Amino acid sequence: MARFIKQKNISPSQQPVAIIGAGIAGLATAARLAVAGHPVTVFEAGPTFGGKMQQFTLPDGYRFDAGPSLFTLPQLVDDIFRLAHRAPADYFRYERLDPITRYFFADGTRLAAWADAAKFAAEVEAKLGTPAAAVTQFLARAGRAYEATAGTFLHKSLHQAGTYFSPETLKAVAALPQLGLLGTMHQRHEAAFGSDPRLVQLFDRYATYNGSDPYQAPATLSMIPHLEHGIGAFYPEGGIYAIAESLHRLATEFGAQFRYDEAVEEILVADGRVTGLRTGRDVYDCGLVVSNMDVVPTYRRLLPREPAPERTLSQPRSSSALIFYWGVAREFPELDLHNIFFSADYRREFAAIFEEQTVADDVTVYVNITSKKTPGDAPPGHENWFVMVNVPHDQGQDWAALTRRTRAAVLARLHRALGVDVAPLIAAERVWTPPGIAADTSSFGGALYGSSSNNALAAFLRHPNFSGRLDGLYFCGGSVHPGGGIPLCLLSAQIVANLIDR
């Protein structure tokens, strides 16, 4: 029988670890623990690694990254290779973006978000009329907020008493009022840029980076723009999939084993601690298990006989996405890697998502075109368009009807902004809906970021990176602390690896 055996009377660094799920957090955890000396086995229900961070091609040679498209804080990837005493550039290369995003407002205004804060502020003044000083002051304050709080609220567990008694934490909490981080994101942005609703809308959109509503999400999230304009946004050589590919390579070099098409059916427990897991093929003995699966199905499916943290599992879900992957038979020189086409009524758009669980008639459209950076991602003279709309997570809506209606709204919005009917240019197409995301990635309801961050206590209500009831059980990924998105998933892996090695 294929099973690894929990060994007794050996150092913790030698204990086998089972990881459930080969998404980005599972890969990063596998790499960190394998480098630390643990025998690691990753169980993946699908045929390959990557989770949402997979790639695929459509007929005629259009390549797509299936899920995440924006990359910030690349040092969190580099750190894993340095931990292994490997040169990061031997595994993974990237370039800094400039501009970061091209914005298209409903009134026809176009604006480039340059990487340099001063240049971006000058662009805002020239195109929108808001004084450049207001923008640079806002971004500087966002940078101070990030530096004051990230070390505590992102890099450490919020569910251990030691975190709260450190001088660093007390300093971070004391800084919040002075940094203007009380109230909601929208209130913060209105206070800074109330004279121009377009600029408020631009900064409000950062709530979507963790699937939240700027009209409800706390103003602490207003520090997110610092990641782009203070630290930088980047493009990995070969696309976002290269991140997963590089971490998989490192993990396997240090002995991590990957078992594909082998879904875990149950986490085995005895006397208050994990003893192993069961798949459709075998039973595996192991005293350390890390779930990179969404925390809701982890409890509902894999721990059916254990008490579940119902308050945590019942937290409101984040938004999901409706994604159209289009092979477009034309090039658009006015577009870049990242492009945003704003709706005319942002408040209505978020009310539809979070209050009515539907999709507004007028939607904001995100278009990512990796062939701008990697020409081989599309045939010559063509482009690969990843077209995404923020939508509610799946609660049984009629997604066939919503998809048809939203597709028409997207095409209409693009036609108004570009003056071109994109519909006849679509040479290849694939669609990913919230139910599809849920089925393909075990994300509860297809929510991309687990629970939403639509209240000030959301960070503290996320599931911790460890079980408070079962020894040996840990959690990583977007549904647990510190949250969703590539950087936070990488930080969750770092927190789990540190907890295990302690």
Contact 109, 128 (CB under 8 A): yes
Of residues 294, 305, 300, the one with CA closest to residue 270:
305
Mean pLDDT, residues 368-397: 98
pLDDT at 153: 64
pLDDT of residue 244: 98
Is 179 among the domain residues? yes
DSSP per-residue letters across 286-329: -SEEEE-S-HHHIIIII-TTSPP-HHHHTSPB--EEEEEEEEES
What is the pLDDT averaged over residues 44-73? 97
Confidence of residue 296 (pLDDT cuts 50, 70, 90): very high
**pLDDT averaged over every residue in the chain:** 92
Is pLDDT at 178 greater than 80 in this prediction?
Answer: no
Please check whether residue 184 lies inside any domain of the structure. Answer: yes
The C-alpha atoms of residue 375 and residue 167 are separated, in whole angstroms, by 50
Mean pLDDT of 298-322: 95
Work out how many domains the chain is built from and give that number: 1
Q: Give the whole-angstrom CA distance, residue 445 versus residue 319.
A: 9
Rounded to whole angstroms, the Cα distance separating 328 from 426 reads: 5
Residue 328 lies in a domain: no
- CB neighbour list of residue 350: distance below 8 Å, 6 or more residues apart: 213, 214, 215
**Residue 186 falls inside a structural domain:** yes
Residue 465 is assigned to a structural domain of this protein? no
Quick one: pLDDT band at residue 160, thresholds 50, 70, 90?
A: low
pLDDT for res 7: 46
Buried b / exposed e over 273-294, threshold 16 CB at 10 Å, is: ebbbbebeeeebebbbbbbbbb
Residue 46 lies in a domain: no
pLDDT at 491 (0 to 100): 95
Pairing of strands 365-368, 288-291: unpaired
Residue 245's nearest CA partner among 37, 378, 48 is 48
Q: What is the tens place of the pLDDT at every residue in 313-326? A: 999 999 999 999 99
Per residue in 78-129, pLDDT (tens digit) is 999 999 999 999 999 999 999 999 999 999 999 999 999 999 999 999 999 9
- pLDDT for residue 182: 75
In angstroms, the CA 133 to CA 118 distance is: 9
> Residue 391 and residue 319: Cα distance in Å, rounded?
6
Cα–Cα nearest to 116, from 139, 142, 141, 146? 139
Residue 310 covered by a domain? no
pLDDT of residue 8: 47
Least reliable range by pLDDT among 99-113, 160-174, 383-397, 443-457: 160-174
Residue 6, pLDDT above cutoff 50: no
Lowest mean pLDDT of 39-53, 175-189, 408-422, 424-438, name the range.
175-189
> What single DSSP character describes residue 455?
S
Residue 10 has pLDDT above 90, yes or no: no
Containing structural domain, residue 174: 121-229
Mean pLDDT of 158-165: 51
Q: Shortest CA distance to 121 belongs to which of 219, 35, 199, 233?
A: 199
pLDDT at 181 over 80: no
Give the residue-averaged pLDDT of 152-168: 56
> Above 60 in pLDDT, residue 2?
no
> 167-175 vs 132-153: helix axis angle to the nearest 10?
150
Amino acid 195: pLDDT: 83
Amino acid found at 267: I
More confident residue, 432 or 171: 432
Q: What percent of the chain has pLDDT over 70?
A: 90
Strand partners of residue 338? 368
Whether 409 and 387 have beta carbons less than 8 Å apart is answered as no
Report whether 226 contacts 139 (CB < 8 A).
yes
Instruction: Report pLDDT for 4.
Output: 55
Residue 219 lies in a domain: yes
User: Collapsing DSSP states into helix, strand and coil, what is residue 439?
Assistant: helix
Q: How many Å apart are CA 438 and CA 442, to the nearest integer?
A: 5
CA pair distance 372, 113, nearest whole angstrom: 17
What is the C-alpha separation between 485 and 449, in angstroms, rounded? 7
Contacts of 47 (CB under 8 A, 6+ apart): 260, 261
Q: What is the mean pLDDT of residues 6-18?
A: 66
Token duo for residue 138: 């806002």
- Output 278-281 pairs: Cβ under 8 A, ≥24 positions apart: 279/43, 281/2
